[in-house]
């Protein structure tokens, strides 16, 4: 494949397949909208001089200097900054809507984020409708009936691979995921580095404390936006700085959701551990999507297709009978349908 297909919802079929790289390297100008700054920084470090990253702090002058010095534009922007990028380029004579392909990467995040960031998601979807050529792209697709209205006219294209990606998941149930993870850290050998994915800075701090990890052994990648950086630094303490995704790996690496999707982590002996704490709802990760996404973060590891899932049950799932579980699942399914309908209704 020399170019991404046009005007479609693209199912990549697997994580780490190079579709985002293709968007950067293909002929013609491309704007790639992604959900997280860490994803942009990851790609910027690989395509320095080719790719311009746009996120909080990137100004009009920087965007125009890049546009004027490059005949072909490769711009990666956060979802929130897409309208700004369009306005700056169009006000300086660039025909963004007709001459650029828009690639919305990891688009499943739109649905995950819609409830608490509706204005940003609506702005993204509205901006996307202006492009002559738009591709929504993910390796963990959502059923078509849940697509936002702005996507429903597009065809679905799936890349088929000769060898299917097989993920080996080893789950360990415990009453205290942070303490068990700390014990796991204590038993680590030089044969592997731990990459621990947990959507809670509080749990990261607890795990580090329980394990007695030294600052020089630890890398923590979490949100550094202006709304959360002070709180995150306070939880971690002054001895444990917040790192970028491009910083060198350490024996113990921790990531919140800012690095769950799309980022490239290079560690030949990296082992992924997912921590789900049933007492902290926002730390719980869906098996059908984020587990596969997380497995794809470790690009070159010999343990790439193996994940350890350390979890504690929630009050709603512990000691539940099959019939009770089936009934709860049916309720959740109906709530999801209502949620999808609500999203589409908000876009009228």
Determine the Cα–Cα distance for residues 249 and 42; give it in Å rounded to an integer. Answer: 13
Non-local CB neighbours of 101 within 8 Å, separated by 6+ positions: 4, 6, 23, 28, 29, 30, 31, 131, 133, 134, 135
Predicted pLDDT at 340: 52
What does DSSP assign to residue 298? Answer: B
- Per the model's pLDDT, the better-predicted residue between 301 and 140 turns out to be 301
- Which of the four pLDDT bands, split at 50, 70 and 90, describes residue 293? confident
Predicted pLDDT at 156: 94
Is 281's pLDDT higher than 90? no
Is 341's pLDDT higher than 80? no
Is 323's pLDDT higher than 60? no
Q: What is the rounded average pLDDT of the residues 273-285?
A: 75
**309 close to 276: Cβ distance less than 8 angstroms:** yes
User: Fold match between 8-158 and 168-311?
Assistant: yes
Q: Is the dihedral of CA 158, 163, 165, 167 positive or negative?
A: positive
Q: Please report, for the chain, how many H helices and E strands are present, in that order.
A: 12, 13
Determine the Cα–Cα distance for residues 18 and 32; give it in Å rounded to an integer. Answer: 14
**237 close to 271: Cβ distance less than 8 angstroms:** no
- Per the model's pLDDT, the better-predicted residue between 299 and 291 turns out to be 299
CATH fold of 8-158 reads Rossmann fold (3.40.50)
State how far Cα 49 lies from the chain centre: 24
- Which of the four pLDDT bands, split at 50, 70 and 90, describes residue 282? low
Non-local CB neighbours of 140 within 8 Å, separated by 6+ positions: 15, 108, 288, 289, 290, 292, 293
- Per the model's pLDDT, the better-predicted residue between 245 and 339 turns out to be 245
Predicted pLDDT at 325: 42
- Which of the four pLDDT bands, split at 50, 70 and 90, describes residue 215? very high
- Per the model's pLDDT, the better-predicted residue between 262 and 219 turns out to be 219
Q: What is the rounded average pLDDT of the residues 201-216?
A: 95
Q: Is the dihedral of CA 261, 283, 165, 269 positive or negative?
A: positive
Predicted pLDDT at 144: 87
The helix (run of H) or strand (run of E) holding residue 104 is strand 100-105
Buried b or exposed e, range 202-224, using 16+ CB within 10 angstroms: bbbbbbbebbebeeeebbbbbbb
Is 348's pLDDT higher than 50? no
| Partners of 307 in beta bridges | 169, 272
Non-local CB neighbours of 68 within 8 Å, separated by 6+ positions: none
Q: What is the rounded average pLDDT of the residues 208-224?
A: 95
Predicted pLDDT at 322: 43
- Which of the four pLDDT bands, split at 50, 70 and 90, describes residue 294? confident
> Which pTM value belongs to this model?
0.72
Predicted pLDDT at 113: 78
- Which of the four pLDDT bands, split at 50, 70 and 90, describes residue 286? low
* % of the chain exceeding 70 in pLDDT: 86
Radius of gyration of the chain (CA): 21
Determine the Cα–Cα distance for residues 7 and 21; give it in Å rounded to an integer. Answer: 18
Predicted pLDDT at 330: 55
| Domain range list for the chain | 8-158, 168-311
Mean pLDDT, the chain, as a whole number?
A: 85
Predicted pLDDT at 347: 46
Determine the Cα–Cα distance for residues 256 and 287; give it in Å rounded to an integer. Answer: 16
pLDDT digits (tens, 9 = 90+) for 76-119: 999 999 999 999 999 999 999 999 999 999 998 888 777 777 88
Instruction: Report the half-sphere exposure of 45 (CA within 13 A, side-chain side).
Output: 14
Question: 116: which 2 tokens?
Answer: 């608490």
Reply yes or no on domain 168-311 having CATH 3.40.50.300. Answer: yes
């Amino acid at each position: 494949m020399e170019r991404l297909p046009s005007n479609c919802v693209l199912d990549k079929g697997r994580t780490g397949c190079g579709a985002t790289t293709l968007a950067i390297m293909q002929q013609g100008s491309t704007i790639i909208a992604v959900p997280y700054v860490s994803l942009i920084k990851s790609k910027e470090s690989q395509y320095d001089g080719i790719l311009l990253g746009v996120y909080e702090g990137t100004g009009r002058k920087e965007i125009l200097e890049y546009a004027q010095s490059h005949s072909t534009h490769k711009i990666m922007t956060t979802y929130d900054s897409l309208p700004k990028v369009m306005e700056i380029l169009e006000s300086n004579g660039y025909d963004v809507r007709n001459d650029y392909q828009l690639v919305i990467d990891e688009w499943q995040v739109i649905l995950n984020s819609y409830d608490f960031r509706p204005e940003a998601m609506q702005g993204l979807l509205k901006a996307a409708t202006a492009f002559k050529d738009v591709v929504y792209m993910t390796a963990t697709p959502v059923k078509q009936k849940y697509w936002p209205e702005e996507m429903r006219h597009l065809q679905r294209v799936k890349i088929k691979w000769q060898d299917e990606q097989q993920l080996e998941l080893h789950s360990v149930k415990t009453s205290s995921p942070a303490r068990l993870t700390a014990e796991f850290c204590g038993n680590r050998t030089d044969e592997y580095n731990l990459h621990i994915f947990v959507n809670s800075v509080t749990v990261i701090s607890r795990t580090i404390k329980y394990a007695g990890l030294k600052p020089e052994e630890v890398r923590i990648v979490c949100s550094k936006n202006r709304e959360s950086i002070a709180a995150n630094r306070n939880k971690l303490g002054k001895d444990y700085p917040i790192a970028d995704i491009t910083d060198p790996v350490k024996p113990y690496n921790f990531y919140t959701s800012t690095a769950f999707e799309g980022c490239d982590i290079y560690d030949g002996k990296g082992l992924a551990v997912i921590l789900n704490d049933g007492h902290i709802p926002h730390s719980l990760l869906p098996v059908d999507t984020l587990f596969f996404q997380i497995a794809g973060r470790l690009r070159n590891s010999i343990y790439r297709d193996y994940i350890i899932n350390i979890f504690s049950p929630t009050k709603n799932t512990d000691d539940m009978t099959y019939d009770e579980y089936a009934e709860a699942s049916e309720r959740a399914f109906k709530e999801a349908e209502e949620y999808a309908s609500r999203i589409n209704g908000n876009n009228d």
